[in-house]
Amino acid sequence: MKSMTGYACAGHQDAGVFASVEIKSVNSRFLDLTVNLPYGMAGCEKTVRDFFSARIQRGKVDIVLKFRDSTQPPAVLADTAAAKAYAAAITGIARALGIPDGRTTPDAILPFVLSREAVLSTAAPENRTVLPDVLASLLEDAFSAFEQARREEGAKMQADILEQAAKIEEALQEVEKNAASMEESFRENLRAKFTEVLGPLSADDERRVLQETAALLVKYTVNEETVRIRSHLDFLRREIDGNPAPGKRIDFICQELNREINTTGSKIQNVSVSRAVVAMKDAVENIREQARNIE
C-alpha cells in the first residue's frame, strides 16, 4: 500500500554540469502529471511523462527538472532598439512635465533603461540537454526515494485501517449478542400483551405468540447484514494484502459497509446496538479518510 503523498529528489554532477529531479505529489482521484523543464529542454518531457505514467496510477504529481552547465555560460542579449525607445519615452515625458534637460541625461536614465527585461536578457545555450543515460539514472534514483517515502506513509495508513476494521468487528459482536437475545425479548413482550388482554394463555394462544414472534423476526433480524459486514471486512483485508493500488476499492467497500450498518441500525432499536452502530460508522469514516490518500 502506498500513499499518494510523497516527496523526493536526486541530483547528478559531473565536469561542471549539474542536473536534478524533484518529485512532489498529493492526493487526486486520477493521475495528474505536471512536468517543469528548463528552457531548451522541452525534448525531455515525453521521456519524463512516459516514465512516471508507467509507474504511478493516481495522484497529482509535480516533476521539476533543473539543469546548470557552468562550462557554457549563458549569452547576454542586448536590444538597443528597445533601449533607445525607453530613453526617448523618458526624455519626452520629462519635457512634457517641464523637467530640466539636465535631469534626463544618458547617465541619469541609463540605470533605469538597463533594468528593463526587454533591454537586457540572457539565453541558455541551444544545445543544453541531459544525456539519456544520465536522465534515466536521475529518474530512477528520484523515483526510488519517492516510492520509499510513499510506502512508509502507506504502511502507517494500512496499520490504521486494520485497526479500524478490528473496531468494526468488535462493535459487530455487540450487535450479534443483542440480536441473539432479540427473539426471546419479542416472545416475552408478546406473551405479556396477550396475557394482559386475554388472561392465562391457552395452547392456541401460545402458538399465536410463536407466529407473531416469527413474523417480527423476519422483519427485524440482522443476520444477513452482519454476514455481509464480515464479508466486506474480509474483502477489505484481501485488497490491502493483494492489491498494490487499493484506494478506489477501499472507498467502494466503505460505501457497502455503510449501507449494511445503516440497515442494521434501523432494524434494531436498542441502546447498546445504537452505540455499536455509531462506533462502526465512525470507524468506516476513518477508513474512508485514509482511502482518499491511498493510491
The span from the CA of 102 to the CA of 178, in Å, is 98
Predicted local confidence at residue 67, as pLDDT: 83
pLDDT tens digit string along 41-61?
888 899 999 999 999 999 999
Predicted local confidence at residue 197, as pLDDT: 62
Q: Which of 72, 51, 33 is nearest to 135 (CA)?
A: 51
Q: Which of 48, 43, 1, 46 is nearest to 20 (CA)?
A: 48
The span from the CA of 2 to the CA of 57, in Å, is 11
Q: What torsion, rounded to 10 degrees, do the Cα atoms 250, 256, 260, 262 define?
A: 90
Predicted local confidence at residue 10, as pLDDT: 95
Predicted local confidence at residue 213, as pLDDT: 60
Predicted local confidence at residue 41, as pLDDT: 81
What domains can be seen in the chain, in order of their start residue? Answer: 6-72+128-150 (3.30.230), 75-123 (no CATH), 151-291 (no CATH)
Q: Which of 183, 210, 213, 208 is nearest to 198 (CA)?
A: 208
CB distance 281 to 38 below 8 Å: no
The span from the CA of 61 to the CA of 23, in Å, is 7
Q: How far apart are the first and last CA of the chain?
A: 7
SS3 for the chain is: CCECCEEEEEEEEECCEEEEEEEEEECCCCEEEEEECCCCCHHHHHHHHHHHHCCCCCEEEEEEEEEEECCCCCEEEECHHHHHHHHHHHHHHHHHCCCCHHHHCHHHHHHHHHCCCCCEEEECCCCCCCCHHHHHHHHHHHHHHHHHHHHHHHHHHHHHHHHHHHHHHHHHHHHHHHHHHHHHHHHHHHHHHHHHHHCCCCHHHHHHHHHHHHHHHHHHCCHHHHHHHHHHHHHHHHHHHHCCCCHHHHHHHHHHHHHHHHHHHHHCCCHHHHHHHHHHHHHHHHHHHHHCCEC
Q: What amino acid occupies position 96?
A: A
Cell of 66: 533543473
The span from the CA of 84 to the CA of 290, in Å, is 62
Cβ-Cβ contacts under 8 Å for 214 (sequence gap 6 or more):
none
Predicted local confidence at residue 187, as pLDDT: 66
CB distance 157 to 294 below 8 Å: yes
Low-confidence stretches of the chain (pLDDT beneath 70) = 70-74, 102, 123-130, 182-187, 189-191, 193-198, 201, 205-206, 209-219
Predicted local confidence at residue 186, as pLDDT: 64
